[in-house]
Amino acid sequence: MASSNVDATDDRIPRISSSIRVIPDFPKPGIMFQDITTLLLDPAAFKDTIDLFVERYKDKKIDVVAGIEARGFIFGPPIALAIGAKFVPMRKPKKLPGEVISEEYSLEYGTDKIEMHVGAVQPGERAVIVDDLIATGGTLNAAIRLLERVGVDVVECACVIELPELKGRDRLGDKSLFVLVSST
């Protein structure tokens, strides 16, 4: 993997990149699965990952860190705590109790939805959307649409890994994407 969006001289990036295990043919043939569980097993790399996001957002007046299920739930809460923002989980259908608002998005074969609690965010709040990886960009795009539909200003999307060959960045419209490592 190579660096993306971060100063190439930052010595934390090689540690983060080398801690991500690539598993061929998982979950099906032809997929090169980017496994962040090995990053989580390396306290220095995990801390570097969180620190880089915190450094980026600490002075941007972020009110909300929205984490996409499931791995956005790993990275989002420590970022939110460090910058003094609330964490809002964005989940797959029928996982949140209570009243939810949802946004449907297209998959290669069919559709899916992403949901959050009604009232979790307020109009005018500033948000960063966090996930471990951007591939085709469908889930991040749906999260942007959902938050904007209720009046939230989505400042940026943030991912640990980007698979640039899948052109997910192109689906985010005018939204900025901050990435720590990019597959090569």
Residues marked active site are found at: 71, 108
Contact 160, 36 (CB under 8 A): yes
DSSP string, 69-80: TTTHHHHHHHHH
59 bridge partner residues: none
The H or E element containing residue 110 is: strand 110-117
User: For residue 126, which phi and psi values (nearest 5 degrees)?
Assistant: -105, 130
Alpha carbon distances (Å) from 148 to 9, 113, 166, 181:
35, 16, 24, 27
Tokens of 2: 């190579």
Are the C-beta atoms of 163 and 138 separated by less than 8 Å?
Answer: no
CA distance 13 to 170: 24
